[in-house]
Structure 1
Amino acid sequence: MVALVVGVDWRCQMHRRKALEIFSSFLALCSSPSLLSANTLKQGVKVGYLSISDHLLIIAKEFSKSVNIVPLKFSSWSEISEALRAGAIDGAFLLAPLGLMLRANGVDIKAVLSSHKNGSALVARSQIGGVNELNDKIIAVPSKFSIHFYLVDKIINENKIKAKIVELPPPEMPSALLSGAIDAFCVAEPFGQIAVNTKRAKNLLFSKDVLPNHICCLLNFNSQILNEPFYDDLLNAFKNAANFLTTNPSEAVNLASKIIGQKSSVLSDVVSKNIVSYSDLSLKLQDLENLREFLISKNLGSQKLKNLNISEYLAL
């Protein structure tokens, strides 16, 4: 009887050891890059975007061969930034200054592409005859951490005028302009052309004429994504989307309007006027360094931003 009990205990110990070995092997497998890749492929790569023409590249979901790109729409820059910081999404289109600030504050992201070049306009009330008439007027931008603030500051300085710059949510800009609450605004499309299409506002300047081929939003990914075996296909999907927007604008806009949630007629207006460009999505270190210096000069940058190695942020 005793021998039987000992025998059973011995076998149980062997089973427990075997179970532990199997469990340990399972944990190791789960943490291996191959399984992480498989899980990511199964669940999809979650990419955040806003309902603006700057983010038309989100149609890349239709051009990926091996990975499911899952578009997730956000309503504000703060929400999309926090989601990327918290790891709730794998990538996001972000205003370039916001990407710089996140990276400077320790968020492990890399900028892989410009989501477009140019893409905005300084829109004013129809009564405004030219830039000089904006002296002592109110100009709205979406955020002080935006290329639009950089552009408006450049316009003001080059034309030697004074103006009050205020921050305003983009969807509110057309109505604020038409009601007389502001005199002009600079923001991502299609809000500028929404105001212009009322015939009570006009394009005073296109951003491409203020700073040719300028960046605005950058496509950022969690750094780990760049080490995944499917990354090349993921990146190519966005590049192919850019090519499709350039060579087949009508089809691309119809596809994008369903994802972005803006009327295809308004998006077509943006593309047909060549307000935005997708032919060159390259990133240049100097562009980001210029932005950093601008933020610091406006007391918007921290010591962490001053110390940021921007070359490590860019996936060049």
Structure 2
Amino acid sequence: MKIFKKIIAAALILGITGGAAACGNSAGTSATSGQTNTGTVSASSGTASDTNADSKSAKKAVKIAYLPITHALPVFVENELQDKAGNNYEIELVKYGSWPELMDALNTGHVDGASVLIELAMKAREQGIGIKAVALGHKDGNVVVVSNKINGVKDLNGKTFAIPHRQSSHNILLNQMLKNEGMSISDVKVVELAPPEMPAALASGQIDGYSVAEPFGAKSVAINSGKVLFESNELWEDSICCSLVFTDNFINNNKEIAQNVAANYSEAGKFIGSNKEKADEIAKKYLKLDDKVLDLSMKWISYDDLAITQEAYEDLSKKVVEFGISKTPPTYEDFVDPSLLK
């Protein structure tokens, strides 16, 4: 199995090159104009299996969908450090502006895989879509952010709280937080907002709190318009949020390539932990963050071990049922493919 350990030293010496244009300007950029490492990819350009074969090259283009969030950093790092000369594939990152857009591309085969909220992928699998989770996106890295007027969970009674999607670990964190205080979801007004909208909504008083993927929690804290009420590990130990998923079609038709992509992804997670300066440089390229927001965001997250354990997944499955997020989540055996990381 070919991994990119051998190029890490060179990357540290030479630095990571390339313009920020490859990433777009904000989370609102649509996939129809989203940049990849090899050019522009349109969500309507056909299925991934139709479009990623290059008759002039033995390399296979592997299209990976993402939203510009800190939780997708291993995908960005793998893309920047991929050994283009030695690998039998080349990653093409495709940026989306919302989870529904990304899931539509994934479910219809326009991409080969994605860094995505695991609950969304679980729901797709539950509905018969051929998707498998390969690895975690990160560990921890979610916070409950509230306005400076909120001093405890009880203060959220009757208030407005935002989550990015009903099918999310942020919904679980909200439910768990309320449960711990003897409250229920009916005690707050829950709204779904796009992640980039949440800091402004909190600052303007439209919402009183939120939980969302980073760096959008850190943005409110950095400008003192909000504060952290809880970090995710205080509410849910070994929580699962985002994951790297592949389509069944991609895995079944490209087993060796899928293994190589997964192995390099795992190495990218380890690279982040041991090479902070370069990891931060890559994060800034894709996320357009200032140092204060990035440092705070990265303080809450780790990427060192991205394997999805059966114990952690089964705990997640119990919680999605308990909190009414899903009635019949897929089993670990049906949804998770740990073999690709071996």
Q: TM-score range by the shorter chain?
A: 0.7 to 0.9
1:18-57 mapped onto 2 (5 Å cutoff): 42-57=59-74
SS in 2 for 1:219: strand
What is the aligned partner in structure 1 of residue 43 from structure 2? none
Q: Distance in 2 between matches of 1:167 and 1:135?
A: 18
What is the aligned partner in structure 2 of residue 168 from structure 1? 193
Q: What code does the residue aligned with 1:105 have? A: Q
Q: Distance in 2 between matches of 1:155 and 1:264?
A: 30
1:279-290 mapped onto 2 (5 Å cutoff): 279-290=304-315
Query: Which stretch of structure 1 is more off in the superposition, 43-52 or 292-301?
Result: 292-301
Q: What is the TM-score with the length of structure 2 in the denominator?
A: 0.75
1:196-211 mapped onto 2 (5 Å cutoff): 196-211=221-236
1:98 to 2:109 alignment:
no
Q: Distance in 2 between matches of 1:224 and 1:279?
A: 28
Q: Percent identity?
A: 32
SS in 1 for 2:256: coil
Pair 91,118 (structure 1): closer, same or farther in 2 beyond 3 Å: same
1:253 to 253, 256, 280: 280
The Cα offsets for residues 140-188 of structure 1, whole Å up to 9 and x where unpaired, read as: 1111100000011000010123322221111111111111111111111
The answer to whether the 8 A contact 2:270-2:305 is kept is no
What is the aligned partner in structure 1 of residue 212 from structure 2? 187
1:155 to 2:177 alignment:
yes
1:240 to 267, 276, 282: 267
1:62 to 2:80 alignment:
yes
SS in 2 for 1:259: helix
SS in 1 for 2:125: helix
Q: Distance in 1 between matches of 2:55 and 2:62?
A: 11
The answer to whether the 8 A contact 2:67-2:95 is kept is yes
Q: CA deviation at 1:200?
A: 2.3
Q: Distance in 2 between matches of 1:277 and 1:268?
A: 13
The answer to whether the 8 A contact 2:134-2:336 is kept is yes
Q: Distance in 2 between matches of 1:144 and 1:105?
A: 16
The answer to whether the 8 A contact 1:150-1:294 is kept is yes
Q: Distance in 1 between matches of 2:66 and 2:244?
A: 10
Runs of 4+ aligned structure 1 residues displaced above 6 Å come to: 35-40
Q: CA deviation at 1:284?
A: 2.4
1:216 to 241, 253, 264: 241
1:64-143 mapped onto 2 (5 Å cutoff): 64-65=82-83, 66=87, 67-143=89-165
Q: What code does the residue aligned with 1:156 have? A: L
Q: What code does the residue aligned with 2:70 have? A: S
User: Aligned pair count?
Assistant: 277
The answer to whether the 8 A contact 2:222-2:292 is kept is no
Q: CA deviation at 1:36?
A: 6.9
SS in 2 for 1:145: coil
Select the structure of larger CA radius of gyration. 1
SS in 2 for 1:44: strand
Runs of 5+ consecutive residues of structure 2 not aligned to the other structure: 1-51
SS in 2 for 1:176: helix
SS in 1 for 2:59: helix
The answer to whether the 8 A contact 1:50-1:260 is kept is no
Q: What is the TM-score with the length of structure 1 in the denominator?
A: 0.80
What is the aligned partner in structure 2 of residue 16 from structure 1? none
Q: What code does the residue aligned with 1:158 have? A: N
Q: Distance in 1 between matches of 2:238 and 2:160?
A: 26
Query: Which stretch of structure 1 is more off in the superposition, 115-124 or 208-217?
Result: 208-217
Query: Which stretch of structure 1 is more off in the superposition, 238-247 or 276-285?
Result: 276-285
Q: Distance in 2 between matches of 1:196 and 1:228?
A: 43
What is the aligned partner in structure 2 of residue 5 from structure 1? none
SS in 2 for 1:113: strand
What is the aligned partner in structure 2 of residue 21 from structure 1? none
